[in-house]
Amino acid sequence: MAEDSMPQAFALKMLLEKDRHQVRVVENGREALSAVATDRPDLIISDIDMPELDGYGMCHALKSQPETRSIPVILLTTLSDPEHILQGLGSKADYYLTKPYDPQFLLDRVQAALLHQAARPVSDLEGGFVVNLAGRSHRVQAEPQQILSLLLSTYENAIQQYRVLVRTQQELNIRNQQLREQSAKLQASEKTSGLCWKTWRTGWSSWIGTSASSFSIPPHAPCSAKPSHCRSKPRLPWP
C-alpha cells in the first residue's frame, strides 16, 4: 500500500489485516517501486497525490514492465473529474475508488481484484487511441479488458457514493423530524408553565384580597396597628 497520510494508511492497514490480508505500507510511489522489486505483492492499493512519485506515475512504471504489469492496482483519490479517469486509463490502472470509501465496498473490490488476477490474460496494446475532453487530447494505451474494468469500477464507485448520499439524506430527515418534535414539546411545555404561573398568581392575589377583607384591611394597605397591639397575627401560607 502506498499512502503518504499516516492516519489514513493506519486505518486502511487495520481494515485489511482484519480481513486477513498481509499489508506493507510505503509513503510514496518511488518507495512502492523499490518494495515491489524486492518483494512482489499480489495487489497494490495506492493514493494518487503523493510526493516524489504520484500514483499515476507509479502505476505507469509498473504496467510498463513485463515482470510487474500483471499486478492489479487500485487507485484511491478524492478527485472525481473525468480527466482523472483518463489519467487512470493512461497509467493502466485496474480499479478506481473515491475517498471517503465504504470499508466493505473496498474489501469487496480487493477480493475481486485478487480473484481476477490469475484468470486475466496479459497483452500489450500498441498505438492506443485518442480521447478529446475539455479541449485537450489524451492518448490512452490500455487493454480493452483493463478499460472495461476501470470504467465499471468507476461506475460502481459512483453508485456507492450515491447510496451513501441517499442514506445520509434519510438520516438528516429523521434528525430534522426529531428536532421539530422536540421543539413542539418544548413550546407546549413553556406554554403550560406560563399558564400555571398565571393561574397561581391570580389565585394568590385572590387569597390575599380575601384575607385582607376578613380583617377589615383594604387590600395591599399597610396595617396602622402598633406591633404591641397585635396579639394575634394571621399566619401566612409560607414558613
Exposed/middle/buried for residue 213 (C-beta within 10 Å: 0-12, 13-18, 19+)? exposed
Tell me how far apart the terminal alpha carbons of the chain are, to the nearest angstrom: 77
* Percentage of the chain lying above the pLDDT 70 cut: 60
Give the pLDDT of residue 1. Answer: 92
Instruction: Give the CATH number of the domain where residue 148 resides.
Output: 3.40.50.2300
Model pLDDT, residue 128:
55
Position 34 scores a pLDDT of 93
Alpha-carbon span 79 to 179, nearest angstrom: 34
Number of domains the chain is built from:
1
Q: Is the peptide bond before 82 cis (omega within 30 degrees of 0)?
A: no
In a domain, 136, yes or no: yes
d(CA 215, CA 217): 5
Q: Which residues of the chain have pLDDT under 50?
A: 124-125, 133, 236, 238-239
What backbone phi and psi angles, to 5 degrees, belong to 148? -65, -45
Q: Answer yes or no: pTM beyond 0.75.
A: no
Classify residue 212: in a domain, yes or no.
Answer: no
Q: Do residues 230 and 215 lie in contact, with contact meaning Cβ atoms separated by under 8 Å?
A: no
User: Do the domain assignments include residue 103?
Assistant: yes
Question: How does pLDDT run across 159-197, given as a tens digit for each residue?
Answer: 777 777 888 888 888 888 888 888 888 877 777 776 666
Per-chain mean pLDDT for the chain: 75
Residue 225 lies in a domain: no
**Structural domain for 32, as ranges:** 6-170
